[in-house]
């Protein structure tokens, strides 16, 4: 079996795809305003035509490098290339002003690779164990797990409770469109044949993450170009200095990687939140916290490793339970479903070679990132000079054609437009996107499992607490709902003094 | 300047109410109180609840003046650019089947690039290049049936 797995992972075609995805991720991540999620959403039409393993490898490689490459514009322009670099952008930029741009970037790259590898190792160790428990889950437990995932998304998504909850309801409402599972009644299709199957997920994601990004970008075309700091350091010396930093703070890098993996595994919390939390914790326990925010290499190392570790973490619930840990894994689940693979504990039992090959590809992607990352650091000035005015129309065309390619109908382009405008508006008024994405993915799972359970139990709601695991999961979920109510009451009472003051 | 939360609250409440109202007409499952209408009703009522809460907190906050970030006369370009993007998508979606991919993609690219003030000969070259790039990647390589429309006679 091991040799089979190695043959799949190290097959030249797989390696070429990973390498190509790594370059692509590097580019998209480094250009300010283009996020890792957008990179993945635009990649999906291509992965559609690949086998499952190369498809997922491409998604993983793109995310991994895009999250690292976000540091490039963060360091040289002080604009985080992806939201995941925001936590330590001040440090990275201060370092490059002090003439240490390359040192800082090499620290980012090395810690990103370490964090990514640690994240994958934890995933490899934990996921099969969890799958062993999850294999005994029935529709009751699946229902609760999906509810738990949604509740978690509200908790960690940022934004006030009503806004996060509104986002979740928007997602659930979108998931309702199409033929219902119980009796086959068409809902909210307005007589459109193409909507009977529901709102196609990939065009929806392209709309929310790519189209809305284009819309935002074309509104700031007038802004004068930022000054790029030119790195003049000697490459060899910078690399040595960066390695010295990593060896100086092994605990920071290791701890942040583990923490990042855990945060990433929470549904709704992704690489950006992992970086913020690790950065804050490292600062608290650091020997020189006063340097943080003014060019601390320790801060760069903490955030840089945490956000890449979060990518591996996010895959744990996605693979074991089919519950995505962030928007990228939400898209990846959509891709797996398109290929007829349902993520869940069964794939660990039925197709162990598939999961092993996935883990192998994750490792290869993280290793491949290092040489490509070095090239990107050396060529960074050129990457950052590509004007928005050219990027925007090109991305727009790829979004529309990509959506059309996946769905095969023009309806997909209308979905891109409608959900793109919606995502743009939500972002503008401070409604977080993550709960809505999870709502779209999990809404169907929750409804399916609820209806199946109800048919089994003949409408008896108490059946949701009859089984052992089901009861535990149910109580945790209800407990979290209680906490959410408390938090929203606190939010309201806190907003009152502001009006008086 | 009216508080954004007030508008958002009204939109969410309205949309949620319509969604839940619509769900009441769905059939129920034989002999049970649950049916296809249950989840849309929950989602709709949830939206109404959140909408009202956002509306109330919005009303409680004093109307915040938008920080005058841009000094000098406010430019209309951001709005024009955004509308051009939306119009491009509408044109593309409406024209794709009858006119064909090349006939819609090329003008969309060219007009947008010119609008974003790329020099005309660069815009022209880019528009041609990207149209053929997409044709090559999606049509030739991935075998996506991009419609030929008007260009059907010269399809290759």
Condensed to tens digits (0 to 9), the pLDDT of residues A392-404 reads: 899 999 999 999 9
Tens-place pLDDT, residues A335-383:
888 887 888 888 888 888 888 888 888 899 999 999 999 999 988 877 8
CA A179 to each of CA A123, A170, A183, A447, A455: distance values in angstroms, whole numbers, following the listed order: 36, 18, 8, 12, 18
CB of A373 within 8 A of CB of A72?
Answer: no
Q: Report the pLDDT value the prediction gives residue A498, as an integer from 0 to 100.
A: 46
Compute the distance between CA of residue A170 and CA of residue A190 in angstroms, rounded to an integer. 18
Compute the distance between CA of residue A204 and CA of residue A415 in angstroms, rounded to an integer. 6
Contacts A46 to B, Cβ<8 Å: 142
Element (H, E) at A187: strand A186-187
Compute the distance between CA of residue A121 and CA of residue A425 in angstroms, rounded to an integer. 39
Of A48, A182, A413, the CB nearest to B29: A182
* End-to-end alpha carbon distance in chain B: 56
Q: What is this structure's pTM?
A: 0.86
Q: Tell me the pLDDT band of A500, cut-offs 50, 70 and 90.
A: very low
Q: Report the pLDDT value the prediction gives residue A501, as an integer from 0 to 100.
A: 32
Q: Tell me the pLDDT band of A477, cut-offs 50, 70 and 90.
A: confident
Question: Where is mean pLDDT largest: A30-44, A101-115, B30-44?
Answer: A101-115
A49 in any annotated domain: yes
**∠A209-A210-A213 over CA atoms, to 5°?**
85
Separation in Å, CA of B103 to nearest CA in chain A: 13
How large is the average pLDDT for residues A477-485?
86
Listed range (A51-60, A458-467, B13-22) with the worst mean pLDDT: A458-467
A438 in any annotated domain: yes
- Tokens 């790195």 sit on residue: A231
Separation in Å, CA of A373 to nearest CA in chain B: 26
CB of A79 within 8 A of CB of A31?
Answer: no
A464 in any annotated domain: yes
Nearest to A304, CA basis, from A479, A476, A95, A162: A95
Q: Look at chain A and report how many structural domains it folds into.
A: 1
Q: Report the pLDDT value the prediction gives residue A295, as an integer from 0 to 100.
A: 86
Q: Report the pLDDT value the prediction gives residue A493, as an integer from 0 to 100.
A: 74
A497 in any annotated domain: no
Q: Report the pLDDT value the prediction gives residue A35, as an integer from 0 to 100.
A: 86
Beta bridge mates, A186: A179
Asked if the interface predicted TM-score (ipTM) of this complex is over 0.95, the answer is no
Contacts A499 to B, Cβ<8 Å: 60-62
Residue B64 has pLDDT above 60, yes or no: no
Nearest to A293, CA basis, from A97, A102, A101, A94: A94
Contacts A165 to B, Cβ<8 Å: 46, 49-50
Give the best residue of B3, B27, B40 to mutate against chain A (max A CB count within 10 A). Answer: B40
Contact B40 A413 (CB under 8 A): no
Listed range (A150-159, A421-430, A465-474) with the worst mean pLDDT: A150-159
CA dihedral of A294, A300, A302, A305, whole degrees rounded to 10: 170
Separation in Å, CA of A264 to nearest CA in chain B: 27
Q: Tell me the pLDDT band of B91, cut-offs 50, 70 and 90.
A: very high
Q: Report the pLDDT value the prediction gives residue B2, as an integer from 0 to 100.
A: 61
Residue A499 has pLDDT above 50, yes or no: no
Contact B97 A421 (CB under 8 A): no
Q: Which chain A residue shows the shortest CA-CA distance from B41?
A: A173
Contacts B86 to A, Cβ<8 Å: 215, 417, 421
How large is the average pLDDT for residues A204-217?
89
Separation in Å, CA of B154 to nearest CA in chain A: 21
Contact B142 A414 (CB under 8 A): no
Residue B76 has pLDDT above 70, yes or no: yes
Compute the distance between CA of residue A156 and CA of residue A167 in angstroms, rounded to an integer. 13
Sequence-distant (≥ 6) Cβ neighbours of residue A90 within 8 angstroms: A78, A293, A294
Compute the distance between CA of residue A326 and CA of residue A153 in angstroms, rounded to an integer. 9
Greater confidence, A423 or B22?
A423
Question: Where is mean pLDDT largest: A113-117, A201-205, A281-285?
Answer: A113-117
How large is the average pLDDT for residues A457-470?
80
Listed range (A56-60, A320-324, A412-416, B132-136) with the worst mean pLDDT: A320-324
Contacts B57 to A, Cβ<8 Å: 160, 162, 492, 495
Of B101, B109, B142, the CB nearest to A46: B142
A499 in any annotated domain: no
Separation in Å, CA of B107 to nearest CA in chain A: 11
Of A397, A414, A459, the CB nearest to B109: A397
Contacts B112 to A, Cβ<8 Å: 392-393, 396
Contacts B85 to A, Cβ<8 Å: 214-215, 218, 392, 396
Please report, rounded to a whole number, the percentage of residues in chain A having pLDDT higher than 70.
97
Q: Which chain A residue shows the shortest CA-CA distance from B23?
A: A187
Q: Report the pLDDT value the prediction gives residue B1, as an integer from 0 to 100.
A: 45
Please, which residues 33-92 of chain B have a Cβ atom closer than 8 Å to chain A?
33-36, 38-40, 42-44, 46-47, 49-51, 53-54, 57, 60-62, 75, 77-79, 81-82, 84-86, 88-90, 92
A500 in any annotated domain: no
């Amino acid at each position: 079996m091991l040799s089979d797995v190695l043959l799949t992972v190290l097959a030249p075609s797989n390696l070429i795809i990973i390498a190509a995805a790594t370059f692509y991720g590097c580019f998209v991540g480094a250009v300010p305003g283009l996020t890792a999620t957008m990179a993945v959403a635009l990649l999906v039409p291509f992965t559609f035509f690949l086998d499952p393993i190369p498809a997922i490898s491409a998604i993983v490689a793109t995310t991994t490098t895009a999250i690292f490459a976000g540091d490039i514009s963060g360091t040289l322009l002080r604009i985080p290339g992806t939201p995941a670099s925001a936590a330590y952008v001040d440090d990275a930029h201060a370092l490059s002003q002090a003439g240490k741009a390359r040192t800082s970037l090499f620290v980012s790259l090395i810690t990103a690779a370490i964090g990514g590898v640690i994240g994958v190792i934890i995933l490899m160790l934990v996921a099969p164990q969890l799958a062993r428990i999850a294999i005994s889950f029935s529709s009751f437990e699946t229902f609760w797990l999906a509810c738990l995932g949604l509740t978690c998304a509200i908790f960690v998504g940022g934004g006030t409770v009503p806004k996060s909850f509104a986002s979740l309801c928007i997602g659930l409402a979108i998931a309702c469109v199409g033929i219902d599972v119980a009796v086959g009644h068409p809902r909210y299709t307005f007589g459109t044949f193409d909507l009977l199957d529901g709102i196609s997920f990939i065009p929806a994601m392209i709309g929310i993450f790519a189209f809305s990004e284009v819309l935002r970008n074309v509104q700031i075309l007038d802004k004068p170009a930022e000054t790029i700091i030119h790195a003049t350091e000697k490459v060899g010396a910078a690399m040595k200095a960066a390695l010295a930093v990593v060896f100086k703070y092994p605990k920071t890098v290791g701890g942040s990687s583990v923490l990042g993996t855990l945060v990433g595994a929470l549904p709704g919390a992704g690489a950006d939140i992992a970086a913020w939390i690790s950065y804050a914790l490292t600062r608290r326990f650091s020997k020189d916290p006063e340097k943080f925010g003014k060019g601390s290499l320790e801060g760069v190392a903490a955030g840089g490793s945490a956000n890449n570790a979060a990518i591996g973490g996010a895959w744990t619930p996605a693979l074991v339970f089919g519950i995505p840990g962030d928007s990228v894994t939400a898209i990846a689940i959509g891709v797996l479903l398109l290929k007829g693979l349902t993520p869940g504990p069964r794939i660990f039992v039925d197709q162990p070679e598939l999961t092993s090959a996935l883990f192998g590809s994750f490792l290869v992607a993280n290793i491949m990132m290092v040489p490509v990352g070095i090239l990107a650091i050396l060529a960074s000035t050129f990457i950052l000079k590509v004007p928005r005015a050219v990027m925007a129309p090109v991305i727009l065309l790829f979004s529309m054609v990509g959506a059309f390619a996946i769905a095969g109908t023009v309806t997909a382009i209308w979905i891109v437009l409608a959900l793109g405008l919606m995502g743009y508006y939500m972002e503008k008024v401070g409604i977080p996107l993550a709960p809505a994405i999870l709502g779209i993915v999990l809404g169907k799972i929750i409804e399916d499992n609820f209806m199946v359970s109800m048919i089994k139990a003949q409408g008896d709601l108490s059946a949701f607490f009859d089984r052992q695991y089901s009861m535990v999961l149910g109580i945790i979920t209800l407990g979290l709902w209680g906490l959410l109510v408390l938090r929203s009451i606190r939010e309201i009472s806190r907003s009152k003094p502001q009006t008086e003051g | 300047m009216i508080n954004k939360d007030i508008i958002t609250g009204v939109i969410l409440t309205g949309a949620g109410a319509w969604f839940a109202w619509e769900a009441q007409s769905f059939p129920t499952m034989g002999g049970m109180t649950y049916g296809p209408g249950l989840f849309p009703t929950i989602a709709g009522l949830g939206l109404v609840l959140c909408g009202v809460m956002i509306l109330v907190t919005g009303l409680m906050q004093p109307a915040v003046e938008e920080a005058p970030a841009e000094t000098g006369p406010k430019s209309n370009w951001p709005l024009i650019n955004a509308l051009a993007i939306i119009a491009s998508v509408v044109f593309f979606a409406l024209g794709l089947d009858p006119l064909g991919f090349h006939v819609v993609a090329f003008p969309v690219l060219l007009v947008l690039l010119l609008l974003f003030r790329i020099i005309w000969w660069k815009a022209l070259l880019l528009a041609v290049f990207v149209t053929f790039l997409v044709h090559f990647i999606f049509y030739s390589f991935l075998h996506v049936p991009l419609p030929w429309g008007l260009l059907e006679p010269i399809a290759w």
